């Protein structure tokens, strides 16, 4: 008997083809679903809204006022601050070193320029000068700390009305140190401890000296702290105006040259540099020179106001544009 497998084979073949077709269709459908799912995921309506559709946020540059070192020239800082205030420019942070830390502390505590002028004119040598017998210096510096604390009503650094940062130098390592909390007077005392004149200030286990040794005009510190616009006040003595006919003059000239080199590097990173024209070395306790120095600060600041307003407007516009371009996403 001859068996005929053709019909059965045909049936099996038909079923196999349908099965394979089913598998292929299922696979293709799976791939298609995967692609559609991926496409759908990418094409989902965004939950992000443009800033323009949300509540308008007014961008404002974070302004840093950098007050440099310079001994008796520090009175000029008061004149600069006065002019800035008159023109509606108030810093969001203050960075001070040496003489700049004294003025900066008093301003940051909430004193007005007029009050600061009165404080400056009332200053007496006995208020801040205390002689001592030490191999490390002639002055102790504690009176400076007490004086500053009295002027700022014993306000701690972290509680200042304007965020305030004090620059000093760690004696052993020569590294810069930024005080941003704790005893304001003690921090200023450290920042103003001129080596060989003042005994180094001890805080904790470390000794600190004048911040002007590493940052005579601490612009880079302000930059690190996130300032958008930096106004630097450079009151350093200019080497070309320094008397060099005696030993003391030569000593001053060495310091002036080194500090100006450091300052030149830093102020290049500032948006506005204010340099009061103070050519004669005034004594820190000379009442007559105080007002002249304050006025020199006022003149220098006034000369830069137009440029400062332009820079401020440009920075504000730039920040506002960046804010408008940012998307606020709802998660």
Active site residues: 98, 210
Of the candidates 125, 65, 67, the one whose C-alpha atom is nearest the C-alpha of residue 101 is 67
178 within 8 A of 221, measured Cβ to Cβ: yes
Question: Closest by alpha carbon to 175, among 214, 132, 232?
Answer: 214
Element (H, E) at 294: helix 287-325
Distance separating alpha carbons of residues 61 and 59, to the nearest angstrom: 7
Determine the Cα–Cα distance for residues 21 and 217; give it in Å rounded to an integer: 81
Please check whether residue 251 is in contact with residue 84, taking contact to mean a CB–CB distance below 8 angstroms.
no
List the one residue out of 218, 136, 220, 148 whose CA is nearest residue 185. Answer: 148
**Strand 48-50 to strand 176-179: parallel, antiparallel, or no bridges (unpaired)?**
unpaired
The DSSP 8-state label assigned to residue 274 in this structure reads E
Beta strand 137-139 pairing with 63-67? unpaired
* DSSP code per residue over 146-202: HHHHHHTTT--GGG-SS-EEEEEEETTT--EEEE-SS-HHHHHHHHT--TTTBPPEE
């Amino acid at each position: 008997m001859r068996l005929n497998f053709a019909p059965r084979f045909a049936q099996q073949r038909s079923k196999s083809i349908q099965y394979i077709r089913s598998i292929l269709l299922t696979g293709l459908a799976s791939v298609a679903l995967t692609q559609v799912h991926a496409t759908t995921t990418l094409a989902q309506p965004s939950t992000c809204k443009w800033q323009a559709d949300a509540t308008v946020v007014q961008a404002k540059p974070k302004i840093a006022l950098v007050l440099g070192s310079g001994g008796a020239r520090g009175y000029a800082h008061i004149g600069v601050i006065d002019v800035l205030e008159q023109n509606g420019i108030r810093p969001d942070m203050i960075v001070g070193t040496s003489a700049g830390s004294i003025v900066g502390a008093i301003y940051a505590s909430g004193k007005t320029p007029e009050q600061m002028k009165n404080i400056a004119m009332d200053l007496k040598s006995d208020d801040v000068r205390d002689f001592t017998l030490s191999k490390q210096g002639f002055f102790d510096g504690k009176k400076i700390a007490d004086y500053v604390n009295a002027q700022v009503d014993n306000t701690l650094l972290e509680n200042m009305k304007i965020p305030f940062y004090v620059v000093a130098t760690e004696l052993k390592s020569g590294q810069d140190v930024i005080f941003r909390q704790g005893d304001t007077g003690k921090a200023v005392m450290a920042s103003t401890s001129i080596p060989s004149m003042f005994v180094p200030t001890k805080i904790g286990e470390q000794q600190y000296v004048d911040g002007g040794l590493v940052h005579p005009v601490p612009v880079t510190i302000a930059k690190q702290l996130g300032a958008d616009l930096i106004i630097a006040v450079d009151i350093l003595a200019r080497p070309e105006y320094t008397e060099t006919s005696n030993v003391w003059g030569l000593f001053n000239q060495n310091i002036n040259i080194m500090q100006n080199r450091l300052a030149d590097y830093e102020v290049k990173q500032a948006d506005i540099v204010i340099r009061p024209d103070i050519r004669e070395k005034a004594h820190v306790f000379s009442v007559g020179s105080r007002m002249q120095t304050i006025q020199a600060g006022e003149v220098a600041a006034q000369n830069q106001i137009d440029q400062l307003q332009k820079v401020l407007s440009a920075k504000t516009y730039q920040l506002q544009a960046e804010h408008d371009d940012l998307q606020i996403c709802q998660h």
